[in-house]
Structure 1
Amino acid sequence: MSLRLKEVLPPVTVLGPLLALLAACLFFATQSDRFLSGQNFSLILQQVMVVGVIAIGQTLIILTAGIDLSCGMAMALGSVVATKFAVDYGMHPYLAVACGMGVCVLIGYLNGALVTSIKLPPFIVTLGTMNIAFAVTQIYSQAQTVTGLPDAMTFFGNTLHLGQTTLTYGTVLMLALYVLTWLFLRETAPGRHLYAVGNNPEAARLTGIATSRVLIGVYMMAGLFYGVAAMLSVARMGVGDPQGGQTDNLDSITAVVLGGTSLFGGRGSIMGTFVGVLIVGVFRNGLTLMGVPSVYQILVTGVLVILAVATDQLTHKKG
């Protein structure tokens, strides 16, 4: 009986955050009649759409015992490059999007190369590239929002109907990316190598895994997700915003940690991250419906992060 129960239940790293999410939903359902509605849950998914995709890349990096502080600024730079190429230079929208995403991948490659070749801590490397990306974004855009975008660049902000509920195409894309990443980590050799490098890089190297190549690949893949997030941000806002993404690095780390992924690397799941993203979204949405000021929403998020990291620390020590 216990074996069957273990097969049915999700992993412990996902079960804890899932129970926390359900508890939060039950609490806010008692506080607001508007919370338990399809339209409100659709709104929550739209609100976490951009951070949710960034958190996929952040999860891959944290699984290798790294961290990426540059993700939000990389996304902002990618969105500005894509929109300015399309609006100011008349470039085809799809080619402009490819250029914006390419910039994000390039930042990811730079992060990975510095971490592997010079052996700098990921925190320091990505702190530096975060500031560089922010400065380049402000200089290139002259701190001006890019408007007048072609319709092709706002496609993912359009909606489709499921009964009485509307979903954006961007939300559907985010959900699809989580499923594809889950399959990648679970079913492919590169996905298993990623866990091995995060768990013990020296042991992974001795088994024949090219650890440096894996790390560079992970940072570049994360950059690709930041590029997708940049396009979703453009589609949702309808502009290229050079001021965007300034808190997305902390929001994505919050989601990953709340989802049960260990900051020590080698342990966690992408579906846990999705639950963590929903926890952040549900708390902010529920507190807004209750009329709680935004400053207290930030306070609650900070408390949740500390609790999650403390749990991870205690679990790591016991292990």
Structure 2
Amino acid sequence: MTEHDLHTLVRDHVNSDEPPFQLTPDDTITRGRRTLRRRRAITGGVCAAALATIGAVTVPQLIDSGNGSSGNKVVAGSPDYDASQMPRIIDEHARVVFAKTTPGLPDGVRSVTDSQGTALPEKFWDKASQMTVDYTMAGREFRISLLHARSEAEGDRDTYCQAELASDYSVACETFDVDGRTVISQTMALRRIGDGWAVVPNKKLATFDPDKLWFSHMVEDVRSETLVVTATEVVKASSVEAADWNAPIDDLTSLVTDPELDIPAPPTDKDGCVWSLPITGTSNGVDQAGCMAQADAVEGP
């Protein structure tokens, strides 16, 4: 997410969905953070009945090698961690989950990016801020995302859901406990904007063209002060009641809480600025906000 992306999203909301006046500085900051989180949740591209089952969420093991492990000993922080293998591992784990209820799941599109959303060459994957895999079908999309972003991970989960519901941007948003961590289940109405998405507020659903409506169900696990793991299904539907979800909430939860889906935090400089892809021929990375971060010299992308 670049500063330009955030400013564009906020401007879109001001122009079409939110009043551009009577906002205090605190209101602006709070809405900006919610907007950033909302865009993060839907850039990949639950009904009440699904939410009603969250009290009984179980987390099955995804890939069993016979010894309680998938055999992929590359968890972040371990001596065997290999960033070059993580996109493949994320893809494999996600495919096990999504393919259970979606026959003919297409090949996943893997993406590894820095803090500014810039695609990284493999030699920099160990410094990535985000790794994602997308599966796109007619009328349906799935995404798994591992993202390091402090602005995404901060704040109380229950408060976040309450704010999303109060702001009219979530059709449903609830939290539940998994092994002592608070996990979010959130549903939103969406519309296409180019290759991306924009939220359709609940108050506009009654008059919005049903042929242009999509709905997303996202399950999110905040692993640390910066790491957020989300699994999302997006379906084309005229209403949330008509949304034909394939992935049960238990499956999405098992995916986001899978301990083998983990990437280390990217480097930061002495000022706390997060690393981004260096300019060719320099030894430092400079993000679009002018933030300096330490990096290895780049011979070329």
With normalisation by structure 1, the TM-score equals: 0.30
Higher helix share: 1
